């Protein structure tokens, strides 16, 4: 039996960034105390973490955490349809990875796909999570 769960994340999608020691260290410093050399890295990391919270908020609003564990015991399929506002955007695969990172603390059993298109008026990410058997 297959169960599907869907929700939409509004706004222009952001891609995954690796949380290095430097990024973690930088985010502990208030923005006004960060040197000019590191300000862009700090802002990029802050935007990414804000996006992670946005993903979790919309997943929570849709009831995601009532249906799924952040450490799934069965294989799940995470399929995302990404709508960017314009041609300057993150790598679509990194957008999917950011969503996976936000929703699952253990993502060893997560498979799935991504696709993208453009919608200047309504950029967003449509997320579908399928538990159980999924046809290819």
> Would you say residue 71 has pLDDT above 60?
yes
Averaged pLDDT for residues 78-92: 93
Cβ–Cβ under 8 Å, residues 116 and 92:
yes
Residue 136 counted as domain residue: no
Quick one: CA torsion of 134, 60, 116, 121, rounded to 10 degrees? 140
> Would you say residue 45 has pLDDT above 80?
yes
Domain that residue 47 falls in: 3-131
pLDDT band at 99 (very low <50, low <70, confident <90, very high): very high
Residues 6+ away with beta carbon under 8 Å from 61? 7
Averaged pLDDT for residues 47-71: 84
Instruction: Dump the DSSP string for 5-59.
Output: EEEEEESS--------HHHHHHHTS-GGGS-GGGHHHHHHHHHHHHHHHHHHHHH
Residue 24 counted as domain residue: yes
Q: How many domains does the chain divide into?
A: 1
> Would you say residue 92 has pLDDT above 80?
yes
**Quick one: pLDDT at residue 124?**
97
Residues 6+ away with beta carbon under 8 Å from 19? 45
Residue 113 counted as domain residue: yes
> Would you say residue 34 has pLDDT above 80?
no
pLDDT band at 35 (very low <50, low <70, confident <90, very high): confident
CATH, residue 81: 3.30.1330.70
Per-residue pLDDT reduced to its tens digit, 3-14: 778 999 999 898
The residue written with tokens 């946005």 in the block is 54
Pairwise CA distance, residues 96 & 118, whole Å: 16
Residue 28 counted as domain residue: yes
């Amino acid at each position: 039996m297959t169960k599907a769960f869907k929700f939409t994340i509004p706004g222009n999608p952001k891609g995954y960034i690796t949380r290095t020691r430097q990024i973690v260290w930088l985010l502990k410093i208030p923005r006004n105390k960060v040197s000019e050399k590191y300000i862009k890295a700090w802002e990029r990391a802050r935007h990414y973490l804000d996006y992670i919270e946005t993903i979790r908020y919309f997943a929570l609003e849709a009831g995601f955490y009532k249906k799924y564990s952040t450490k799934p015991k069965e294989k799940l399929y995470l399929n995302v349809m990404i709508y960017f506002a314009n041609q300057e955007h993150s790598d679509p695969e990194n957008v999917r990875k950011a969503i996976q990172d936000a929703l699952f603390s253990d993502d060893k059993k997560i498979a799935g796909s991504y696709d993208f298109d453009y919608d200047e008026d309504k950029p967003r990410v449509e997320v579908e999570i399928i538990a159980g058997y999924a046809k290819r």
